[in-house]
Amino acid sequence: MYHPILPFCFFVIRVSQEAFKSFILRKKGVVPLPRTLGEHLRNRRLAMGLRQDDVASQLGTLREVYERWERDERQPVVSEWPGIISFLGYYPAREENAADLVLKARRCRGMDQKALARKVGVIHQRLRRWEHGQEIPMFDDLKLLQSLACL
């Protein structure tokens, strides 16, 4: 891409299209290694060239609600997570222990604790203790939770 610096100047800046696009995205606020859900959402939206209104309507929510997600002022409810995961194309949080796996399975399926507990075949109080890290699920339960979590 060629762009003269000034009309009377004979210098030309030569930049590849990819480098120019990455420069513009960095100026708009794209974070190289996103850590929060808001950073993941903003990176994806800017990379796709969408406005907050567009993403909010795609996710079936209000622009104000989506804006709060991007600023990390509010976390989405569990039923909103499947749409967010499909928009991003991946699950945005790291899975460090069994409690994170339980939360990931709930978010990927958009289920509350009681519904997931029924699916796994345990009482919901046990699933709640798993999710809060107070108990560790048995091996068979972990395998079932991994199959319910999005890949």
> Hey, where are the domains in the chain?
1-30, 34-92, 98-148
The two domains 34-92 and 98-148 share their CATH topology (first three levels equal): yes
**Strand, coil or helix: what is 2?**
strand
Q: How far apart are CA 26 and CA 42, in angstroms?
A: 12
- Each of the 151 residues of the chain gets a pLDDT tens digit; together they read 555 565 666 666 777 877 777 777 777 778 889 999 999 999 999 989 899 999 999 999 999 999 999 999 999 999 999 999 999 999 999 889 999 999 999 999 999 999 999 999 999 999 999 999 999 999 999 999 999 998 6
Q: Is the pTM of this model over 0.75?
A: yes
Asked if residues 61 and 80 have their Cβ atoms less than 8 Å apart, the reply is: yes
Write the single-letter amino acid at 123.
I
Of all helices (H) and strands (E), which one includes residue 52? helix 52-59
34-92 is classed CATH 1.10.260.40: yes
Tell me how many degrees the CA angle 50-110-53 measures, rounded to the nearest 5.
Answer: 20
pLDDT (tens digit, 9 = 90+) per residue, 40-59? 999 999 989 899 999 999 99
* CATH number, span 98-148: 1.10.260
